Amino acid sequence: MSEPHGILLQLESVTKSFDGFKAINDLTFYLDHGEMRAVIGPNGAGKSTFMDIVTGRTRPDEGTVKFFPTGDTNVIDLTSLREHEINRLGIGRKFQTPAVYENLTVWNNLLISLNRPRDLWSTITYKVTSEDRDRIDDILKTVALDEQRNTQAGYLSHGKKQWLEIGMLLAQNPKLLLVDEPAAGMSDAETERTAELLLSLKGKHSIVVIEHDMEFIRRLGQKVTVLVQGHVMKEGSLDVVSEDEEVRSVYLGRKREKKVAA
Ligand SMILES: Nc1ncnc2c1ncn2[C@@H]1O[C@H](COP(=O)(O)OP(=O)(O)O)[C@@H](O)[C@H]1O
Ligand SMILES: [Mg+2]
């Protein structure tokens, strides 16, 4: 069977106000099956709200949000679903701060994230299968935590916690991964490794990654969407968007000045 192609996620003319302030303003965004996209933009541009809308955490006031998990025929209106229903469709999200079970080992964090029966009785009686073990082994390698498999998650560095949480998302085998500022608070080496990790997922999952770190975005080497005041200002390669005068004036130029001043 061939992989589905074409559009996976489609937002059209989406608007969302908070107390009269348009956090998302006429936003139109398309993501293809298997695509990885970087979303950049100044603080308060609506990047996290965009993810809130896709995951059902926030309802848009206007516009459409559609998911095409199998190609073009099966269309799901995400605005009619609740957060957990959207998650079950295969849309996984990673928030900026890591949310791992600090008292459990890395291995057990991954085990409880695998898709399996959810009722209490099934959980109590659940026997770990060799298939589960293989999956966990795979994920441990992908997120470079093989050596820490028996470490209590609370003892991991901030960077490794982030990778574990990405691993926990992978355990759910999502079609679409939404990753909000994964490199925040990381060392340069960890940031580099995070970019490599996300790139290694490309093709297996569609990915939207929000990030501020330009070096990280450059490393990803993917199409970039510049979000400003809840609206797409420009899309294209990082080189193309960073040469755009408007983008430079509101975002990249200002960042560069800051960097120079620092
Ligand atoms: N649940 C909410 N209630 C009120 N205001 C919100 C809420 N979520 C986001 N906002 C506002 O919407 C704007 C965009 O925020 P956000 O999406 O977090 O920006 P970004 O992630 O790009 O920094 C901000 O002004 C923020 O204060
Ligand atoms: Mg944000």
Q: Tell me if 225 is assigned to some domain.
A: yes
* Euclidean distance between CA atoms 157 and 138, whole angstroms: 21
pTM for the structure as a whole? 0.91
Per-residue pLDDT for 49 more than 90?
yes
Q: Residue 182: CB within 6 Å of ligand 1?
A: no
What is the number of the ligand 1 atom nearest to the C-alpha of 180? 21
User: Per mean pLDDT, which of 182-186, 192-196, 244-248 is the most reliable?
Assistant: 192-196
* Euclidean distance between CA atoms 63 and 82, whole angstroms: 17
Per-residue pLDDT for 16 more than 90?
yes
Confidence of residue 53 (pLDDT cuts 50, 70, 90): very high
Task: Report pLDDT for 251.
Answer: 67
**How large is the average pLDDT for residues 71-84?**
91
Q: Tell me if 79 is assigned to some domain.
A: yes
Q: Are 207 and 36 in contact (CB under 8 A)?
A: yes
**Minimal-distance CA residue to ligand 1 atom 7:** 18
What is the number of the ligand 1 atom nearest to the C-alpha of 58? 1
Per-residue pLDDT for 1 more than 70?
no
**How large is the average pLDDT for residues 37-45?**
94
DSSP string, 196-234: HHHHHHBTTBEEEEE---HHHHHHHT-EEEEEETTEEEE
Q: Residue 23: CB within 6 Å of ligand 1?
A: yes
Q: Tell me if 238 is assigned to some domain.
A: yes
| Residue 16 lies in domain | 7-98+175-261
Q: Tell me if 121 is assigned to some domain.
A: no
Per-residue pLDDT for 261 more than 60?
no
**Minimal-distance CA residue to ligand 1 atom 3:** 18
**Minimal-distance CA residue to ligand 1 atom 6:** 18
Residue 146 vs residue 114, higher pLDDT: 146
Q: Residue 226: CB within 6 Å of ligand 1?
A: no
Confidence of residue 119 (pLDDT cuts 50, 70, 90): low
Per-residue pLDDT for 200 more than 50?
yes
Share of the chain above pLDDT 70, in %: 90
Per-residue pLDDT for 262 more than 50?
no
Give the CA count within 13 Å in the CB-facing half-sphere of 229: 4
Q: Tell me if 111 is assigned to some domain.
A: no
* Euclidean distance between CA atoms 21 and 25, whole angstroms: 9
Ligand 1 pocket, mutate which of 49, 59, 93, 229 (most atoms under 8 A from CB): 49
For 148-162, the pLDDT digits (tens) are 999 999 999 999 999
What's the gap in Å between 12 CA and the centre of ligand 1?
19
Task: Report pLDDT for 71.
Answer: 79
Q: Tell me if 114 is assigned to some domain.
A: no
Confidence of residue 260 (pLDDT cuts 50, 70, 90): very low
Q: Tell me if 93 is assigned to some domain.
A: yes
Ligand 1 pocket, mutate which of 17, 25, 48 (most atoms under 8 A from CB): 48
Say which residue the tokens 């949000």 belong to: 65
* Euclidean distance between CA atoms 94 and 182, whole angstroms: 8
As for how many domains the chain has, the answer is 1
Per-residue pLDDT for 256 more than 60?
no
Confidence of residue 249 (pLDDT cuts 50, 70, 90): confident
Q: Tell me how far CA of residue 39 lies from CA of 63, 114, 140, 157, 253, in angstroms.
A: 20, 28, 27, 26, 17
Q: Tell me if 234 is assigned to some domain.
A: yes
> What average pLDDT is seen over the chain?
90
Task: Report pLDDT for 203.
Answer: 86
**Minimal-distance CA residue to ligand 1 atom 4:** 18
